[in-house]
Structure 1
């Protein structure tokens, strides 16, 4: 398999928390399913993951936030569930596998995505 894309993103936790407080409904616009209701650090990491995924895909226009959901396996390992606009972009690139790593510490959340095809 070949690497088709790599994306990384970071999110300042205080700034992200302020955005959530300032903008009613932002959580519902950005997140779906079990993502909703998570602590701020976890939400920030998932936001960074969605941004990193968009970068790895080449930042195509028209991706919907709800079309990339970060879920946790029983082991705690994060992975994406892709649908709609995001799944179509991944398919167009020939993506077979999406690797995701999340972290949050020292006031920053980060995510890295690697796409294989």
Structure 2
């Protein structure tokens, strides 16, 4: 059963400017694994913007709980390149409180816009 849905869009250029203006912003928003590709090179602004959109979409799906920590919501990539959402700490607690046990995630970026959609499903992982 679907509990909630969240969607968010980010203007890539605006997000890239924010990252340039605030050097520690990427560290605050993303885990090291999110900031780097599988080969260890830095992710593009488009890719990071899509991951940020995913974190915002998760917050929306949870009803924007107070005290949510960005690192407690991590977007990981499986060996085939498919993005997955893992939650821990504050995000996992909010999800459990709402009966959410499984997440579905879609990321996209094109034409200067990054987007993400999450579906929160009841039950176990």
Please classify the TM superposition score into its range, dividing by the shorter chain length: over 0.9
Does 1:75 find its partner at 2:75? no
- TM-score calculated relative to the size of structure 2: 0.90
2:71 is aligned to: 66
- State the distance in 2 between where 1:49 and 1:14 align: 17
Offset, 1:75 = 1.4
- State the distance in 2 between where 1:78 and 1:47 align: 13
Does 1:111 find its partner at 2:110? no
Offset, 1:33 = 2.7
2:12 is aligned to: 13
After TM superposition, what 4+ stretches of structure 1 lie above 3 angstroms from structure 2?
Answer: none
- State the distance in 1 between where 2:82 and 2:23 align: 30
- State the distance in 2 between where 1:16 and 1:97 align: 28
- State the distance in 2 between where 1:96 and 1:34 align: 23
What is the aligned counterpart of 2:61 among 44, 56, 59?
A: 56
- TM-score calculated relative to the size of structure 1: 0.96
RMSD over aligned Cα atoms: 0.7
How many residues are treated as equivalent by the alignment?
A: 116
- State the distance in 2 between where 1:68 and 1:15 align: 22
Unmatched 5+ residue regions in structure 1?
none
Alignment of 1:87-102 (within 5 A): 87-102=92-107
Does 1:84 find its partner at 2:84? no
